[in-house]
Copies of this chain bind each other. A is one copy, B any other.
Amino acid sequence: MSGRYSVSVIGLGLMGGSFARALRGFRDCVITGWDIDPEITALAQNLGVTDRAGASLTKAVEDADICLFCAGPQGILDGVAQCAGVFKAGSVVSEICGVKTQLSQMIAQMLPDNVRYIGLHPMAGKEIGGFHNSDANLFKNAGFILVPPENCDEDALSLMRELSLFVGAGRVVVNNAREHDALIAYSSDLPHIAATALVRSYPENLTLAHTAGAFRDCTRIADIDAELWAGLLSLSGPHLLSQLDAYIKNLQEVRSALAGGDSAALRDFLQIAGDNKRRIKTL
């Protein structure tokens, strides 16, 4: 297979499996897959989702032009650490973790100078994980955030932009790690907390008949992978705390209006929120 462009996907769960499927045809590449579960590594190849099953993690990355790590934060760090001495000179290493500041610094420290790193955050997912739920169309029209380090190599950035558009990105934006984490604390971490807090407790005589679309939509993501998200939310740290404090403050504004019977204040609150919601759709 030497001579062909080579992309390796490390971690073949929902996200990695979807990337492997969506990358079919990208630069006429050969796709190598590896998962910590050898059965998944083999299954992906048997189904033709990948062209090659990595015999080991380091074997899976050694000739890759692009190496995309699709795992939780610790899995990514462990994987990059193991492969740091193996990556091909000039190759690009990327990962899809939803929190970047600490992780990208740690990765940058591990990589040799001749290996470029670009963080990637596809704004797509499902509440059900695993290779069996992976989908070539998962990224269609999704926002993709590229998170380059300081003094980033422009070729590496434009390569990852090309990859993002190839797998279906509707829009690609570039943020540094700090900007990214502050924005995602708001647009992803906070909704996960808002949704789970809604079902942290519930009335004992509740039935499904008492719930409609409002409840279903607001709590869809509460069916959560607790282990994965405890890790992500912990990493999000100060950005998330500041968003959560703003959220609690907003809720207390409603509480005051309700408790004081101030329905004009309540209407103003709802009006501003509604206007913002409609404005965000245009940003």
Contact = CB atoms under 8 A, between A and B. Distances in A.
B214 A281 contact: no
Interface stretch (A6-14, A20-28, A85-93, A260-268): A260-268
A43 to B, nearest CB: 26
A1 interface: no
A241 B257 CA distance: 10
A56 interface: no
A250 interface: yes
Contact of A200 (B183, B205, B272): B272
B217 A203 contact: no
Nearest to A239: B203
A254 B195 CA distance: 12
A159 interface: no
B179 A205 contact: yes
Contact of A144 (B173, B191, B209, B269): B209
Interface in A235-250: 237, 240-241, 244-248, 250
Contacts of A221: 213-214, 217-218
A247 B199 CA distance: 9
Interface in A191-244: 191-203, 205-215, 217-227, 229-231, 233-234, 237, 240-241, 244
A94 to B, nearest CB: 17
B234 A244 contact: no
B171 A266 contact: no
Contacts of A231: 263
Contacts of A223: 274, 277-278
A205 B274 CA distance: 19
A200 B203 CA distance: 27
Contact of A229 (B184, B192, B270): B270
A26 to B, nearest CB: 21
A226 B194 contact: no
Contacts of A143: 207-212
- For the complex of A and B, list the 10 residue pairs with the smallest distance between their C-beta atoms, beginning with the closest: A143-B209, A196-B273, A230-B267, A123-B212, A226-B270, A222-B277, A197-B250, A226-B271, A191-B218, A200-B250
Interface of A: 123-125, 142-145, 170-173, 179, 182-184, 186-188, 190-203, 205-215, 217-227, 229-231, 233-234, 237, 240-241, 244-248, 250-255, 258-259, 261, 263-264, 266-274, 276-278, 280-283
8 contacts: A143-B210, A182-B203, A183-B206, A186-B206, A187-B210, A187-B215, A224-B273, A244-B255
